[in-house]
Amino acid sequence: MSDPLNLLALMSQLPGYGQRPFAWRDGKPLGYAYLLAQAAAWQRLLSRQAGSRFALYCSDSAAFACILLGAWQAGKTVYLPGDVLPATCASLGALVDGYLGDFPPQYAPLAMADNEDAEDAEDAIPAFKTLPPDFPGLVIFTSGSTGEPQAVPKIMAQLAAEVASLELLFGARIGDADILATVSHQHIYGLLFKVLWPLAAGRAMHARQLDYLGEFRPQPGKAVALVSSPAHLKRLPATFSPEQVAAVRVIFSSGGALPPEVAAAAGQALGAVPIEVYGSSETGGVAWRQRLAGADDSWQAMPAVVWRVGADDEVLEIRSPHLPDGSWFALADQVQAISQQRFRLKGRVDRIVKVEEKRVSLDALERQLRAMVQVADARVLLVEQAQLEQRQQRQRIAAFVVLSAEGERILAAHGKLALNRLLRDGMAHAVEAVALPRSWRYLKALPVNAQGKTTRANLLALLEPPAEAPRQPGERLLEQDSHRVLLELTVPSDLLYFNGHFEGAPILPGVVQLDWAISYGRRYFALAPQFLGMRGLKFQRAITPGMVVQLELLHDVPKSSLAFRMVSAAGQHASGRITFGAGHAAS
């Protein structure tokens, strides 16, 4: 077992290391010799660059690892944004000296010339150094679940301590399993579980992130540890193949509490009840639990974490080697002590707000909504007047609700206003009138980021009123490289194209889906000017108002074609291949 301080130094000295796979990409192994040579090439490139701070975004975990390790060897601090949306990139401009990976072309991300990519040149491997414990290796960003994302610096000693804790707790359970993930390594959870811990323990990572668990294709004789989140585990396929079930050795979940019924369903479907990990960007890992039969909902502190219940507001306070120093750190979670090692979470103090001078717990409101038969999931926010058009009341509670089958039936039969009244009346016995939601949004699924988290920014975006009936979906770029783009599209409930298609049961016309695929294709790729034709066009499932879908675009340059696929938690909706050229199609 190594650690992030001496990863490359150790790998380059051990005989036979280069023959082992450190990663799998599209079913093919990438050896440690490849990792060492790529890291060396990035080290040489970055050593020639002025400045010490570089932003890194790369969707491929293997390529990400090579760039990250090379940057550290070049003495660079790496900033990890959660996405490459325009606002995110703009905010990085004042913080970094350059960009690495899959940033849009206007940010001029550094790239290696062909003659620098010397993966087989043994003499290109330098004597890698062991990094000092206080080296400022990373700046990561909080998810923004309760506010704007905040920058969190991490020194190498923190990362090394975190990796050591994970191996001590869970290494024996994983054994020699490969690491497969549905979450991004651009956040602390995915970074540790998907990249740094596997590298330190000599386990192979899967370079590609799964969008849906049903896409998992096991390799014969290879077990996997699945790194996932509540958002992904809530969308399990109806069935898994015997090969898929047999391959899953352990499941991890983080990013939020996993409902007990979801944990049980995952255990039944895949033969492994998920291990939940509790922590934050600031603290790293704090505690864990596994809801086996008979287990309660309490959390067990990680071995190196010392904790106590704070005198103010009964919040959890910890001391940990995962923190930058030995001071006590107060989290925003209220806790109840169960034993010396176990505690129960009671709710977040940063989700207790004032509405017209009344203290309101947003967590309590969400529990009330989720307890109703019409509701499958819910989030509530306190929002300002400017975020809800020009209303007289300064603040109000907005509810974002995923309906159950019963809720969907009521909405279809009686309309939104009737359902609003029904839910408000159902909460009235336990909630003061001032705290009842005044704005309601009914969704097919809560919007999530690449880490599987629902952020405040995601939800607020759903409240922005359009000036007129919109013609385009809400969009968010999830992944991008030279030939592939993955977008998340939120289909507005009042989209213009739902009018008359069809009355009482609107669905998105197929011609609109095709138009969106071509429009986004032209935005991200240099497609030939003329549309020539379509092949394999299929529309398998209807897309309805408010639905969140993912649009994957693949540009085949030699064939001058654009393949597209629209999927959601419900499955695949549409797919096809569009061909382009410089002339007209033959008659």
pLDDT digits (tens, 9 = 90+) for 549-580: 999 999 999 999 999 999 988 889 999 999 99
Q: What percent of the chain has pLDDT over 90?
A: 57
The answer to whether the CB of 226 falls within 8 A of the CB of 320 is: no
Asked whether the predicted pLDDT for residue 116 surpasses 60, the reply is no
Query: Nearest to residue 490, comparing CAs of 514, 507, 474?
Result: 474
* Pairwise CA distance, residues 250 & 238, whole Å: 20
* Pairwise CA distance, residues 55 & 368, whole Å: 42
pLDDT tens column, 33-49 = 899 999 999 999 999 99
pLDDT tens column, 58-72 = 999 999 999 999 999
Kindly state the DSSP code that residue 584 receives in the 8-state scheme.
Answer: P
CATH number of the structural domain 356-443? 3.30.300.30
pLDDT tens column, 145-195 = 656 678 999 999 999 999 999 999 999 999 999 999 999 999 999 999 999
Domain 1-155 has CATH 1.20.1740.10: no
* DSSP H or E stretch at residue 56: strand 53-57
State the CB neighbour count (10 A cutoff) for residue 553: 22
* Pairwise CA distance, residues 515 & 174, whole Å: 46
Asked whether the predicted pLDDT for residue 425 surpasses 80, the reply is yes
The answer to whether the CB of 240 falls within 8 A of the CB of 270 is: yes
* DSSP H or E stretch at residue 560: none
Please work out, in degrees rounded to the nearest 5, the angle formed at the alpha carbon of residue 259 by the alpha carbons of 370 and 346: 75
Q: What is the mean pLDDT of residues 433-450?
A: 85
- φ, ψ of residue 461 to 5 degrees: the values are -60, -25
- φ, ψ of residue 348 to 5 degrees: the values are -100, 135
Domain ranges of the chain: 1-155, 356-443, 466-581
pLDDT at 388: 43
pLDDT tens column, 230-274 = 888 988 888 899 999 999 999 999 988 888 999 999 999 999 999
Which listed CATH number (3.20.20.70, 2.60.40.1080, 3.10.129.10, 3.40.50.800) goes with 466-581?
3.10.129.10
* Pairwise CA distance, residues 226 & 248, whole Å: 7
- Composition of the chain by helix, strand, coil, percent to 5: 30, 30, 40
* Pairwise CA distance, residues 517 & 549, whole Å: 12
- Between 15 and 520, residue with greater pLDDT: 520
What are the C-alpha distances in Å from 446 to residues 482, 488, 568? 29, 12, 12
Query: Nearest to residue 100, comparing CAs of 117, 84, 121?
Result: 84
